Structure 1
Amino acid sequence: MKNQFLEAGQIVNTHGIQGEVKIVPWCDSPEFLCQFDTLYLDGKPVRVRSARIHKGNVLAFLEGVSDVNAAMAVKGKTVFIDRTGVELPDGRHFIADLMGLEVIDDATGEKLGVVADVLTPPAHEVYVVKGAHEYMIPAVDEFLVKTDVEAGYIRVRLIEGMRTDV
Structure 2
Amino acid sequence: MEQMFTIGKIVNTHGVKGEVRVLPSTDDVKRFGKLKEIIVQNRTEITKEIETVRYHKNFVLLKFKGIDTMDEAELLKNSTLKINRKDALPLKEDEYYQCDLYGIQVITEEGRDLGELTDILVTGSNDVYVVQSAQKEILIPAIKQCILKVDIANRQMIVHLLEGLEDLS
Q: Could you state the TM-score of these two structures normalised by the residue count of structure 1?
A: 0.87
Give the match for residue 76 of structure 1. 78
Deviation of 1:161 (Å) = 5.4
Query: CA 1:33/1:97 → structure 2, altered by over 3 Å: closer, same or farther?
Result: farther
Computed over aligned residues only, the root mean square deviation of the Cα atoms, in angstroms, reads 2.2
Change (3 A) 1:32 1:158: farther
User: Retained in 2: the 8 A contact 1:23–1:58?
Assistant: yes
* Residue 147 of structure 1: how far off its partner (Å): 0.9
Q: Secondary structure at the match of 1:74?
A: coil
* Ranges in structure 2 where 5+ consecutive residues have no aligned partner: none
Per-residue CA deviation, residues 23-73 of structure 1 (Å, 9 max, x unaligned), is 112121212343222110133211111213222321111223222112211
Q: Does 1:39 align with 2:38?
A: yes
What residue in structure 2 maps to residue 118 of structure 1? 120
Instruction: Determine the C-alpha separation between the residues in 2 that align with 1:134 and 1:23.
Output: 35
1:152 maps to what in 2?
155
- TM-score normalized by structure 2? 0.85
Unaligned 5+ residue runs, structure 1? none
1:78/1:162 Cα in 2 relative to 1: closer, same or farther (>3 Å)? farther
Distance 1:105 1:49, change over 3 A: same
Identity %, equivalent residues: 30
Deviations 1:132-161 (A, max 9, x none): 321222222121111111110111122255
Structure-to-structure mapping, 1:15-164, within 5 angstroms: 15-42=14-41, 43-86=45-88, 87-106=90-109, 108-131=110-133, 132-160=135-163, 162=165
Residue type matched to 2:161 in 1?
L
Question: How far apart, in 2, do the equivalents of 1:54 and 1:121 lie?
Answer: 25
| Range moving further from structure 2, 73-82 or 2-11 | 2-11
Moved over 4 A (4+): 160-163
